Amino acid sequence: MRGRRELRYAAHIEATEDEAARRSALSASMVSDRALRLAVAAVALAGACVAGYLTYVHYRPAALVCTGGGGCETVQESSYADIAGLPVALLGLLAYLAVLGLLAWDTELARTLAATIALGAVGFAIYLVSVQAFVIDAWCVWCLVNDLVIVPLLAVSTVLRVVRPR
């Protein structure tokens, strides 16, 4: 009799712990998604600022000066800075703005599209860094900040939003 009561008591405790764990996981998942959403917004905004600056100096070359340490002007003046007349920096700016728009929409499809853009940006960033290293033989610091820091961060945060439970 006593043994059966202990068993029931243990089962009750287990059920309660499971429920608590489930609620805690659900709560943590919600908080994490909110934090991820903020992270995507912050990274996309930072990327938009960098891409916006690079677009500005593309159209206003007088804003750029050659300095001893940097090859930014060489990269910006290179033929690889344009695709069919459109500055690569402008494409980047449009991509960041698209991610911000998709963040506001925030459906499953929007998350998938944002991850598509971010993963595509990673692949293109690898190509652009390779071009700087092996073809142009000059480094643009702001391009590297974008390609090696902002784009990977954006990819990680957007992919996490796709794979995490909602």
Please select the residue that binds other proteins; options are 26, 35, 42, 63, rule is CB under 8 A: 63
String marking each residue 4-23 x if it binds other proteins according to CB under 8 A: ------x--xx--xx--x--
145 within 8 A of 12, measured Cβ to Cβ? no
Number of residues this chain uses to bind other proteins (CB under 8 A): 53
String marking each residue 111-140 x if it binds other proteins according to CB under 8 A: xxx-xxxxxx-xxx--x-------xxxx--
Which amino acid appears at position 108 of this protein?
E
99 within 8 A of 114, measured Cβ to Cβ? yes
Residue 157's SS3 state is: helix
What is d(CA 49, CA 154) in angstroms, rounded to the nearest whole number?
Answer: 14
Contact call for residue 61 and other proteins (CB under 8 A)? yes
54 within 8 A of 76, measured Cβ to Cβ? yes
Write out the residues near other proteins by the rule CB under 8 A.
10, 13-14, 17-18, 21, 60-68, 71, 73-74, 77-85, 88, 91, 108, 111-113, 115-120, 122-124, 127, 135-138, 159, 162-166
